Structure 1
């Protein structure tokens, strides 16, 4: 039949899945796993521009917050969206596929997080991130930048 993305949820979902597959999505592979990170970690190793094998992350003391880490041979990046005192995640190749689809770090992290919650993962541990700017401080900063 005819594909109707605007009016058919199944058509829209299947089209999105087909697009992700075209970008390199690997079915059955992880995309985002919440982890606990030792305070002694070299924080320069965090970020999407740096990857290590799961085995190497484990040697550095990185542990899954719930359950076990994925396959030791997989490559992953350590994400610290709120800094080293906030939640921590290992991001895998499928995370990068989502990022290829939508270049918003917040969007992709949120999609990955909600997908893991739908699979039964617990709520992420918010940790104790440093306080963020208040609304008034942000407005003042933006006035100075303008």
Structure 2
């Protein structure tokens, strides 16, 4: 009697088990990646916001902080005065004489502080992410 070549039942069970483990691993990794990304969704926005206001090209200096909610800054380059404040869910940079530039979106609250003559701020986004930093902007 000639023996036909085929997989045994044990080989088939082992192959199905390995494929099941691979499929299970793939389905578990994807939700973990999505939840991690949702936790830090505004980290890059906050860093870009800081980079924008600390730009050496603009040479901002701290003028005064009013009630922790309104910030007055001056520019050594343009010799103008600017305000930063929260309007709705946005952080706005505006000139004293008008015009505005949105800096940060989806913000729940912002608090400006003076720490050792440098501007510090605490930003809380609408998804309750919270970031704080002490900037290089100081009184001049």
TM-score (norm 1): 0.33
Larger radius of gyration: 2
Task: Name the structure with the higher strand share.
Answer: 2
